[in-house]
Amino acid sequence: MVVPGLVGYYLDDRLGTRALLTIVGFAVGVAYGVWQLLRLTNGPRGDGPRDSVLRSGGDERCSKTLQQDVEW
């Protein structure tokens, strides 16, 4: 998150653009950090066995148990 801000600071110093690129660099770094955190907390997406069960509406055993609980 800090590296884009430091790159912006360096470019500001070389180009004389005050703090504009530093702010943009830190904003890009924070956005990238949040995106990585969301990817980490959401876990992988894809063709795993858990994903196929979730897409199909669940496990048959689970749905039968739920139906039995509702019928009491």
pLDDT digits (tens, 9 = 90+) for 4-39: 999 999 999 999 999 999 999 999 999 999 999 998
Contact 3, 10 (CB under 8 A): no
Q: How far apart are CA 56 and CA 72, in angstroms?
A: 26
Record the pTM: 0.56
pLDDT cut 70: percent of the chain above it: 58
Round to whole Å and give the CA distance between 33 and 35: 5
Residue 1 has a pLDDT of 77
User: Structural domain boundaries of the chain?
Assistant: 2-71
In which band, very low, low, confident or very high, does the pLDDT at 59 lie, cut at 50, 70 and 90? low
For residues 32, 36, 38, 41, the Cα torsion angle rounded to the nearest 10 degrees is: -160
Model pLDDT, residue 42:
84
